Structure 1
Amino acid sequence: MSRLADNDQEMPLVTHLTELRSRLLRCVGAILVLFAGLFYFSQDIYALVAAPLRAYLPEGATMIATGVASPFLTPFKLTMVVALFLSMPVILHQIWGFIAPGLYKHEKRIAVPLLISSILLFYGGMAFAYFVVFPIMFGFFASVTPEGVSMMTDIGQYLDFVLTLFFAFGVAFEIPVATFLLIWVGIVDVATLRKSRPYVVVGCFVVGMVLTPPDVFSQTLLAVPMWMLFEAGLLFGAMVKRRDEHEEESAETAEESPSQDQPPSTQP
């Protein structure tokens, strides 16, 4: 179905594709501009990301590069990913500009806070992983290193590992948005989600067990925030749902009530 322009006329497919191409080029341009500005600091950026592991390396141990081009390609890859993450507000703005003309007013009212909260929660999940989970996890790995084994991690493998965790924690912190959308769209209702709370709690601990080291403390650090985020999404979803239902009831009441200016009908 074609999107509607501001003059309420359907836009042709060619116009859609042209606008989509221009917005994609803007997104790519934003990423490249940020990458060009950050590339000079690529070594410093990698040192910052590697700091949680380097803090727990044994005395005299260092990280290593087993690939010939790893000293260059690994910071290059990290800088590109950082540029992508930092350009997310621009990307979301372009996505919003493309889909906004096809939304109703009440959908626009919800969509903007969802877009903003999604990126903030994703950044929050990454920050939580870096400042809370990484020190505990790498401290645990260092403590269980067998005697006679030197802990010297390859920089490429480390980058792949932490990027996976950054993405996993960022997605995990999107639970409130996902819960809210499920309620708002009508896929599930609040009562069903409340009844499913025990399964959600178990699922959070299972995810924590998979993503963190096998100790109860680390698992709890991830599982409890995920559960609290689920409850937050449930709360806001219930509030918006009740408000929408109240507005619909008010609109129906206004349609059913006769107008005071209309004279009563008379029988011939």
Structure 2
Amino acid sequence: MTIEGSLLSHLVELRTRLIRIISGLLIGFIPCAFYARELYTMLAQPLLEKLPQGGQMIATDVATPFFVPMKVAMMLAFVIALPHTLYQTWAFIAPGLYTHEKRLALPLVFAGSLLFFSGMLFAYFAALPLVFEFITYFAPEGVAVMTDINKYLSFVLSMFMAFGITFEVPVVVMVLVKTGFITIEKLREIRPYVIVGSFVIAAIVTPPDVISQFMLAVPLCLLYEAGIIIAALTLKKDKQENDKTRSDHSENDNT
């Protein structure tokens, strides 16, 4: 096959995979759109439960009451269709990977997706209620707490992204160790700097309150430690398998 033919076949394959990904997103979006209002109410629940009596959320733009729930429906459709999206992406790139790369990539993709969702759930059920309780508690006397629904959605999405990315730390540590970019000993050596950096990052990406900063920084430190432990166990297992393989080869040679 010529270079032009190979490139054309890859482009056709890419187009097919993209069409399937978009189709999966549309299929997931249609049922979510019917329940867009209920989905937004569910998303806003951490704030609604902490608002003082008489407090409510408002919409300051004419089209906001329609578009904001639709954004939530699209976000949920993306989450629902993510396994299908990842599979299509994997099916496109897998033929170009070596066997050992395939063994490493697939578990990392699965673990990364699971950890990202775990970070979002942690933000929704643990971090957001505490943050909103802290904020509403310190509202001055006579100030009505009424948040615009679009700004609330932007705030929640930023928190989801911050916690989702934070929960990817074990995967990042694993990749760095497996690729030989850094050693376990070096990771342990820089632990104090990582702890300080965790609180600095938390102060930058979270609202200016102590609660949310601790809620992000502490899991970041713990997940860093978890990444070191998992990477060390994986390297130990790989070493045992390599020793066993060399031993089997040595026995075959002697035979």
TM-score, structure 2 normalization: 0.90
1:42 has 2:36 as partner = yes
Task: Tell me, in whole angstroms, the C-alpha distance in 2 between the residues paired with 1:87 and 1:207.
Answer: 30
Q: Which residue of the partner structure matches residue 53 of structure 2?
A: 59
Equivalent of 1:167 in 148, 161, 180: 161
1:224 has 2:218 as partner = yes
Task: Tell me, in whole angstroms, the C-alpha distance in 1 between the residues paired with 2:50 and 2:26.
Answer: 34
1:79 has 2:77 as partner = no
More deviation in 14-23 or 221-230? 221-230
Contact 1:137/1:212, CA 8 A, preserved across alignment: no
Describe the superposition over 1:79-114 as per-residue Cα deviations: whole angstroms up to 9, x where unpaired: 111111221111111111112222222222222211
SS of the residue 1:259 aligns to: helix
Task: Tell me, in whole angstroms, the C-alpha distance in 2 between the residues paired with 1:201 and 1:113.
Answer: 27
Contact 1:140/1:213, CA 8 A, preserved across alignment: no
SS of the residue 1:16 aligns to: helix
Superposed, 1:165-244 pairs within 5 Å as 165-244=159-238
Task: Tell me, in whole angstroms, the C-alpha distance in 1 between the residues paired with 2:95 and 2:233.
Answer: 26
1:148 has 2:145 as partner = no
Q: Which residue of the partner structure matches residue 15 of structure 2?
A: 21
SS of the residue 1:87 aligns to: helix
Bigger radius of gyration, 1 or 2?
A: 1
Aligned-residue RMSD, C-alpha: 2.1
Describe the superposition over 1:196-252 as per-residue Cα deviations: whole angstroms up to 9, x where unpaired: 111111122223333445554443332222112111211222222233345455556
- Counterpart of 1:29 in structure 2: which amino acid? S
| Equivalent pairs, count | 251
Gap regions ≥5 residues in structure 2: none
- Counterpart of 2:19 in structure 1: which amino acid? L
Task: Tell me, in whole angstroms, the C-alpha distance in 2 between the residues paired with 1:51 and 1:247.
Answer: 50
Task: Tell me, in whole angstroms, the C-alpha distance in 2 between the residues paired with 1:72 and 1:218.
Answer: 30
TM-score, structure 1 normalization: 0.86
Gap regions ≥5 residues in structure 1: 1-10, 262-268
1:127 has 2:109 as partner = no
Describe the superposition over 1:12-65 as per-residue Cα deviations: whole angstroms up to 9, x where unpaired: 111111111111111111111111011000000000001111111121121110
